[in-house]
Copies of this chain bind each other. A is one copy, B any other.
């Protein structure tokens, strides 16, 4: 399910916060001392701001971006999933339990779920989708390229 409710009021970020987030997005493991240099504050103030952004919930977590191709996932697919009547919760569970589904959103409209799938081969697509097609109609698109890779939203 959705991870948590929205914060009551949106956080307001100043220029320094924006610079900090951009720097952390580019390299989350850089030392506070270097972040401090980049944003033009002392190390303690910088550390304090990072903690505040975490406390406010702006920073959800620090994480690592994996390249699926380096792990042999040569194929990426985006699958729209429309559960058959009465199968919605079961379909959701099936998707959650298959680790090759690396992302799944429940959306308005005819296709209930939109999911991202990492695959080693085209045969594996068939194999994985067969676990879903007993309970849902699916519509699959293979990713050819990624004009915009996950990026920060505008921080204005």
Taking Cβ atoms with an 8 Å cutoff, the residues of A that contact B are 1-3, 6-7, 10-11, 13, 21, 24-29, 56-74, 76, 78, 92, 95-96, 99-109, 111, 113-115, 118, 141-155
Contacts and interface: CB of A to CB of B under 8 A. Distances in A.
A102 B152 contact: yes
B106 A147 contact: yes
**Identical copies of this chain, number:** 2
B29 A141 contact: no
A23 to B, nearest CB: 9
A21 B154 CA distance: 29
Given A29-B29, A62-B63, A78-B107, 6 more contacts: A1-B145, A1-B146, A27-B63, A107-B143, A108-B142, A111-B141
